[in-house]
Structure 1
Amino acid sequence: MENRFVLQFEAQEEMLLREAIALWGISKRALTAIKFGGGDILVNGVRRNVRHVVVVGDIITIVFPLEEASEGLVPQHGKLNIVYEDEAVLVIDKPAYMSTIPSREHPESSVANFVLGYLQEQGLASTVHIVTRLDRDTSGLLCIAKHRHIHHLMSASQQQGDVIRHYEAIVYGQTKSQSIIAPIGRKETSIIEREVRKDGQFAHTDVEVLEYGRLNDCIISHVRLTLHTGRTHQIRVHMAHIGHPLVGDELYGGDKRVLDRQALHCVSLTFLHPLTKKLLSFSSELPEELRNLSRFSKKLPPL
């Protein structure tokens, strides 16, 4: 069983084994993989099938099959700023200019490459499962599941609104605190760019103004943003849509002369742990280049 992902729990009442397994959020697909893909199901250390009846106090052990990384994901060894780690999840503070996953333009040195190398160093038979993803030029906190089952649980938690992310950004203009509810879809003339469009997916972003300032001859706003959905480029698209693109975000109307990446950082991440159900919360300070944009600004009165 070494190097495998294993779940162990105690039966709380008499029921079929498959019913007890379902109570722990193990999907039918995962159960099929366990049964036929090299996993195991034990009750009090004895292999049992899912029609076995468990009673109160029985110890159920689920041994998951070995996981293999996709052929295109190459393990690399490099520094990861790990904020939190346990047997189920990793929370990482990602720097700007590092992709979350490999792409055609940046096939190596992504978070996924380094995490896979890190997992292999630990001798874990698992691959990388991104829970919360950040754009290459966005910095801050992101969460990674160490196993497919954990990713399944956290994806369900995200859909229920139990994974909460807050960002801070520097945007052009004197904006105001507001909620932006506007559907987002792919721009027809681009494979990368998104836009607000009627046939897009529902998207909701809350904006809170923290301070105003000046950047050269421009008024800027330092804002805190809460994502209620997770569409691609959501914050960048929504802020550009209301006329306040992010500083440095050339794709959506910003200017790279002051900053060569979008001024966006994930400052906090809160979620229910998929196994313990304990609420975990993590924070990350703005990087120096973003703090300097605000620090040297002349404060303006709020609207």
Structure 2
Amino acid sequence: MLTYKKGEWCEIIVSSEWDGKTIDDIVKEEWKVPKKLLHEYRMQKSIQINGEYRRWTDTLQEGDKLQVHMFIEEEYGVTPEYQDVEIIYEDDHLLIVNKPYGMDTHPSEKGGTHTLANGVAYHLQANGIFAKVRHIHRLDKDTTGGVVFAKHSLAGAVMDRLLMERNIKRRYIALVEGKVNQKKGIINKPIGRDRHHSTRRRVSPTGDSAVTRFYVSEYFSKQNVSLVHLELETGRTHQIRVHMSDIGYPLVGDKLYGGQTTLLNRQALHAEEITMLHPITKEKVEVSVPLPSDLFALLGKLK
């Protein structure tokens, strides 16, 4: 699907897949636009065909130009702050950034700074883009790797739904203590708050459903450390850290969940790959996120 940014409008060249569909079909079935945003589109006449306002029941033909008022100027919502942000993927609709170690994804209070969201706001500002900074998911402060941001409200709404439906796949790489007995497995254990510790989570029968898939790619016998790749089916706080600790293999450097090994001064966890369908074009987006220098160096030593 070809899309073009034309000022505040997005122009989509209708492909054969959309031939015969109506505007109503596109917004409700293809994009599943939330009711509030649908209402805004109707009231503000935010959708045109070939430069004309048309009824939403009118059909599209291959080659038509479907125009949507997507790129509306907004406040960033966070203070732009210069950072050397590492962009992994970017187009008019979304942004994937490699979050460094020791940085929160977004501020915990209004006016907060020194977070990834502040750096993204600066990046947008430097490129003349005035859009609210919308993170689709988060990473722990000391976890590195890919974080997805939406660049307008429609992309945000679609990707929020994709995440909820578990259709944004996130793969992580971790170093854990010990030799993991199973080559691969699924950890299906609910996670809740630890009433004895304000920031900890724990496996709890009354917690929220949490599912983690893993497979072991290497074991370093000298240091008694395993290299594990993991995929989240749910996105609970500290999910991988809690699950791996619960089955007896805490992450290297993760003191909060019982990690003893001091090979790294943080938990050895990195979001290495993100796979999803593009929120507007539905084309497959698959990105690999480079390892940070500390984890890269440690892996080199282990090998």
TM-score range, shorter chain: 0.7 to 0.9
Confirm or deny that 1:200 pairs with 2:204: no
Hey, what does 1:30 align to over in structure 2? 37
- Give the deviation of 1:86 after TM superposition: 0.6
What is the SS of the residue equivalent to 1:211?
Answer: strand
- Kindly indicate whether residue 176 of structure 2 is the aligned counterpart of residue 171 of structure 1: yes
- Cα displacement (A) at 1:14: 6.8
Shift in alpha-carbon separation, 1:211–1:67, aligned structure 2, 3 A: same
Q: What secondary structure does 2:264 align onto?
A: coil
CA shift in 2, pair 1:49/1:13, >3 Å? closer
* Whole-angstrom distance in 2 between the partners of 1:197 and 1:248: 24
Contact 1:129 1:145 in 2 (8 A): yes
* Distance in 2, Cα, partners of 1:14 & 1:250: 55
- Which of 112, 116, 121 is the equivalent residue of 1:116? 121
Asked if the contact 2:178/2:224 (under 8 Å) is kept, the reply is yes
Letter of the structure 1 residue corresponding to residue 267 of structure 2: Q
Equivalent residue for 1:6? 10
Paired AA for residue 75 in structure 1:
P
Give 1:112 shift.
0.7
Give the deviation of 1:55 after TM superposition: 5.5
Aligned counterpart in structure 2 of residue 275 of structure 1, from 280, 287, 291: 280
Amino acid at match of 1:63: H
Gaps of 5+ in 1: none
Measured after TM superposition, the shift of residue 125 of structure 1 is 3.1
Residue 127 of structure 1 pairs with residue 132 of structure 2: yes
The match for 1:150 is: 155
Residues 1:98 and 2:103 are matched in the alignment: yes
User: Deviation per CA, 1:34-81, whole angstroms, max 9, x where unpaired?
Assistant: 344x5633233233565x64464654322147353475x211122111
> In structure 1, what is the Cα distance between the partners aligned to 2:164 and 2:103?
27
Cα offset, 1:225, TM superposition: 1.1
Instruction: Report the CA distance shift for 1:210/1:47 in structure 2 as closer, same or farther (over 3 A).
Output: same
> Does the CA contact (< 8 Å) of 2:10 and 2:71 recur in 1?
no
Secondary structure of the 1:198 match is coil
The number of equivalent residue pairs is: 292
In structure 2, do the counterparts of structure 1 residues 137 and 59 end up closer, same or farther at CA, with 3 Å as the change threshold?
same
User: Which amino acid in 1 is paired with 2:8?
Assistant: R
Report what 1:82 is aligned to. 87
Instruction: Give the residue type in structure 2 aligned to 1:254.
Output: G
* Alignment check: 8 A CA contact 1:41 1:49 kept: no
Equivalent pair of 2:97/2:146 in contact (CA under 8 Å): yes
> For residue 183 of structure 1, what is the amino acid of its counterpart?
P
Match 2:247 to one of 242, 252, 263: 242
Q: Is the 8 A contact 1:39 1:64 kept in 2?
A: no
Of stretches 1-10 and 183-192 in structure 1, the one that deviates more from structure 2 is: 1-10
* Residue pair 2:76, 2:130 contacting (<8 A) in 1 also: no
Distance 1:121 1:285 in 2: 24
Equivalent position SS for 2:107: coil
Q: 1:291, 1:145 → 2: CA distance?
A: 29
Paired residues of 1:4 and 1:124 also in contact (CA < 8 A): no
- TM-score of the superposition, structure 1-length normalised? 0.84
Match of 2:69 among 63, 66, 76: 63
- Deviation track 1:235-290 (CA, whole Å, cap 9, x = no partner) reads 00101111111111111112474422111111111111122222122213433322
Q: Which runs of 5+ in 2 are unaligned?
A: none
Q: 1:258 to 1:19 in 2, by over 3 A?
A: closer
Find the aligned partners of 2:159 and 2:258 in 1 and give their Cα distance: 34
Change over 3 Å in CA distance of 1:79–1:3 after alignment to 2: farther
Instruction: Return the alpha-carbon distance in structure 1 between the equivalents of residues 209 and 40 of structure 2.
Output: 34
Matched residues, percent identical?
Answer: 34
Residue 116 of structure 1: SS of its match in structure 2?
Answer: helix
For residues 34 and 180 of structure 1, do their structure 2 counterparts lie closer, same or farther at Cα, with a shift above 3 Å needed? same
Question: Aligned letter for 1:210?
Answer: S
